[in-house]
Each structure stands twice: as structure tokens, then as C-alpha cells.
Amino acid sequence: MYDLIVIGGGPAGLAAACAAWEGGLRKILIVERDRELGGILNQCIHNGFGLHHFKEELTGPEYAGRFVKLLGETGVEVRLDTMVLEVTGHRQVHMVGKSTGYRVEEAKSIVLAMGCRERTRGAIAIPGTRPAGVFTAGAAQRYVNMEGWMPGKRVVILGSGDIGLIMARRMTLEGAKVLACVEVMPYSGGLNRNIVQCLHDYDIPLYLSHTVTDIRGRDRVEQVVVSQVDASRNPIPGTEMVFDCDTLLLSVGLIPENELTRQAGIEIDRRTNGAVVYENMETSLPGVFACGNVCHVHDLVDFVTAESQKAGAAAAAYVRGGGAAAPDRVLEVKNGDGVTYTVPQRIRPHRVDKLCGLFFRVNRVCGDSEILVKSGDTQIARFKREHLAPGEMERIDLPRALLDRAEGELTVSIREVEQ
């Protein structure tokens, strides 16, 4: 019987395992399906990671390396090349690995850290033929950065999320011509710094409010047709631009990978596509925690690390405390105007130490704004921001004293301040 089984050895799993070890657990197992730890960081060779956590600018592999080294100083057991097939409601973990075969391991606590996967062409139903040369941006990133293959020479990128922007620069540096980055929304889904250093630096045009309306080619992509869209995101006839290219990269969103979570009967939030979690990242199944991109898709790995440390420490506290505690008063956190989701979705005020961090995303770009937190009709907190955007996750910290006074539901909303 393990104290803790962590499913996934990316940044979330590594940080959670290290934190649980620090929290006093000694029988910890990380199960990772790849042949090495580090997850997606291994292919994110660009820099810009770690400014919050390490106070310096690291590349993805360096960031992963730091945590793998920390883990090496603990007694945490790691099983690589091992795929978890099922997690039961009784915290049994079914797994299959090349060297260990089929195993069922039991744990006093579990951290779900499986990350997310990319949306594909099928998910967004792009019309056209089905030639080779259509890749998700992350798959292309793995080919170029880890396996040493160039996916193509003339490239169009659909989606302006950070992975798409990073790949626009990367493909350019490796000698490809990136003809356009196309975004269906009227704003980019990526960080401003990436628009500057990945597109502007290399004179790559960004077409906002545009989308791909046709893929042409028999064996290989030959042309991609891009059209402008109206306010309801429908293509406008007559606005077609034809790009002669051999490759289309898709950076059109990430989906938390929650098959195991659903199968275990854990409550899922339709807004995040991840588990509904409490203030300490515990799911609806006591002793099972979720953190990182499997819980909600993050922009910054430093936030994944912080959230996962919280989950790991909470798993340790759960095991030390001998299992589920008595039911506490619960505050439900609701979306107000302009807010698309919050994590956590539920707060037990008595479990909050001093501050309860609350992550959320907004549904539109705003200038000078206020973030308002209400309990019933009473405003209990207000935070100012100069800028809000859907592509940038927001965080507020709610003091325990405020939560103690709150009743029933908390509503988080935004209000743009009139200029």
C-alpha cells in the first residue's frame, strides 16, 4: 500500500510528489507513460519558464531537470513506460508497464496529474481533403525539437495560442517559411510577449478574426484557404485568401485528459473539463487530488508548480490525518459577469490557512477593470487590474477572515471601469 500514487511525471506530478515527500510521506510512487520524466517541458526548448518559482529564466528542459534533480534527492519511486488504465473509487490504480506487466497498486491518496492533450483537426471540423501535412503544433514541436524531423517548408498556423506562436518562430529559425498565423477570435489567445518575439521579430502576419475554410491537396497539403469571419465566427464569402503551402499546424486549444477521472466517478466541471476541486485541490472523491493542466489549462508552468505543491502537501496532510475529515461548511464559487471559470470551484473556509488563491479566466479583453467578489448580494472583496484578457489566467487571494464571514455562494465577476 502506497501513501500516495501520482499519475503523471510532468511538472505537476513532479512538484506534487516533492511536496508530499516534504510533507512527510515516504511511500510515494510516480507513474509515467513516457520513457522519461518532465512531460511536455522536454519539448518546450524555448526560454521564459521559471521567473516566479526559480527567479530566473529557464528553458523547458532546464525547468524539468531542476525538478527531476530534486526528486532524485527523495526516496520517491518512479515507474516509467507505464500506463495507468483505471483508477477505482477505492483508490486502486490499475497500470501496465513493459518491465512490470499488469499491476494493481493501492494508495491512501492519489494525485491526478495527467496533463492535457491538443485539440485536433477533427475537433474543429475543418473542411477539405485529408492529405498529409496537417499537424497539431505540439506534435510538430516534438518532431522538430526532440526527434530531429522538419514537418514542412511552407507553413500556415491556425490558432494564436502560445504553442502556435512559439512554433511559428521555431519553424522559421529552422528554415521554413511561415506564411501566416490565423486566429478566429478578434484577439490572440497567446501572451503579448510571444506575439512580439515570435511573430513581429520575424515579420509573420497575424490574421485576427480569420479561420481556415479549406484544405486542398491529394497526398500532401498543397493549399490552405483562409477566410475572414463575422462577429458570430461564420466565414464571410468573398474574403478568401489562398496560401500555397505544404503544412498546416493547429494550435486550437487543449483538453484536460480526464478519462481516468471520469471513470473513477469524480465530478467534472463542464467549464474547465477538469475535476471540480476544493481549496486544497481535493476532488469530489476524498483523498484524490488533481493539479496542473488536468485540472484546468494553465498559461505558465510556475502556476502549475504552485498548484501542484498545494495538492501534494494536501495529500500528505490527508494521509497523516488518517483519511477523510468531518464535513465542513462549503462555499460554492460561481461565475459572475465576464468570468468563464474559477478554480477552486468550492472552498471550505475552515481548511484555508491565511489566504485562498483563486484562479479564473475572463471572456473578453478589458482595460482598467475591477474584479468583484460577492457573497449573496454583499460585495466582500474588490481587486483592480489594468488589463484582463482570456489568454491570461487571473489570480486573486481571498483572506480567510473574509471567507469565514461569507455565506452560501461566492460570485466572482469583472467590471470594466469607464474611462
State the pairing for strand pair 355-362/339-343. antiparallel
Site for other proteins in 55-114 (CB under 8 A): 57, 59-62, 64-65
The three cell numbers of residue 184 are 478566429
Rounded to an integer, what distance in angstroms lies between the CA atom of residue 29 and that of residue 252?
Answer: 33
**Residue whose C-alpha cell is 485568401:** 241
**Least CB distance from residue 348 to other proteins, whole Å?**
31
Q: Which residue pairs, CB below 8 angstroms and at least 24 apart, start in 352-357?
A: 352/279, 352/398, 352/400, 352/403, 353/400, 354/399, 354/400, 355/397, 355/398, 355/399, 355/400, 356/279, 356/397, 356/398, 356/399, 356/400, 356/403, 357/306, 357/310, 357/395, 357/396, 357/397
Residue 48 interacting with other proteins (CB under 8 A) = yes
**Least CB distance from residue 295 to other proteins, whole Å?**
20
Type of residue found at 371: I
Choose which of 85, 150, 173, 324 interacts with other proteins (CB under 8 A): 173
**Least CB distance from residue 64 to other proteins, whole Å?**
8
Instruction: Tell me whether residue 19 or residue 199 sits nearer to other proteins (CB atom).
Output: 199
- Taking contact as CB under 8 A, which single stretch among the options 10-18, 115-123, 139-147, 345-353 is the one that binds other proteins? 139-147
Instruction: Tell me whether residue 45 or residue 268 sits nearer to other proteins (CB atom).
Output: 45
* Closest-CA residue to 184 (of 144, 132, 139, 227): 227
Backbone φ, ψ for residue 143 (5° rounding): -55, -50
Choose which of 88, 92, 120, 197 interacts with other proteins (CB under 8 A): 197
Contact 58, 41 (CB under 8 A): no
Residue 297 interacting with other proteins (CB under 8 A) = no
- Exposure string of 331-343, with b = 16+ CB inside 10 Å and e = fewer, is bebebbebbebbb
Rounded to an integer, what distance in angstroms lies between the CA atom of residue 402 and that of residue 26?
Answer: 36
* Closest-CA residue to 248 (of 147, 140, 148, 174): 140
Residue 145 interacting with other proteins (CB under 8 A) = yes
Instruction: Tell me whether residue 144 or residue 333 sits nearer to other proteins (CB atom).
Output: 144
Instruction: Tell me whether residue 62 or residue 105 sits nearer to other proteins (CB atom).
Output: 62
Residue 187 interacting with other proteins (CB under 8 A) = no
- Taking contact as CB under 8 A, which single stretch among the options 106-114, 119-127, 146-154, 215-223 is the one that binds other proteins? 146-154
State the pairing for strand pair 28-31/2-7. parallel
Choose which of 201, 240, 244, 397 interacts with other proteins (CB under 8 A): 201
**Least CB distance from residue 69 to other proteins, whole Å?**
9
**Least CB distance from residue 55 to other proteins, whole Å?**
11
Phi/psi region, residue 55 (left: phi>0; alpha: psi -120 to 50; beta: rest), is left
Four-residue CA torsion sign, 136, 138, 142, 144: positive
**Least CB distance from residue 148 to other proteins, whole Å?**
5
**Least CB distance from residue 168 to other proteins, whole Å?**
14
Residue 357 interacting with other proteins (CB under 8 A) = no
Rounded to an integer, what distance in angstroms lies between the CA atom of residue 232 and that of residue 184?
Answer: 10
Instruction: Tell me whether residue 222 or residue 302 sits nearer to other proteins (CB atom).
Output: 302
73 CB contacts (<8 Å, ≥6 apart)?
A: none
Site for other proteins in 362-401 (CB under 8 A): 392
Residue 42 interacting with other proteins (CB under 8 A) = yes
Residue 196 interacting with other proteins (CB under 8 A) = yes
Contact 26, 78 (CB under 8 A): no
Residue 36 interacting with other proteins (CB under 8 A) = yes
Instruction: Tell me whether residue 55 or residue 90 sits nearer to other proteins (CB atom).
Output: 55
Residue 321 interacting with other proteins (CB under 8 A) = no
- Taking contact as CB under 8 A, which single stretch among the options 47-55, 224-232, 234-242, 285-293 is the one that binds other proteins? 47-55
Contacting residues toward other proteins, per CB under 8 A: 35-36, 42, 45-48, 51, 57, 59-62, 64-65, 144-148, 173-174, 191-193, 195-197, 201, 299-300, 392
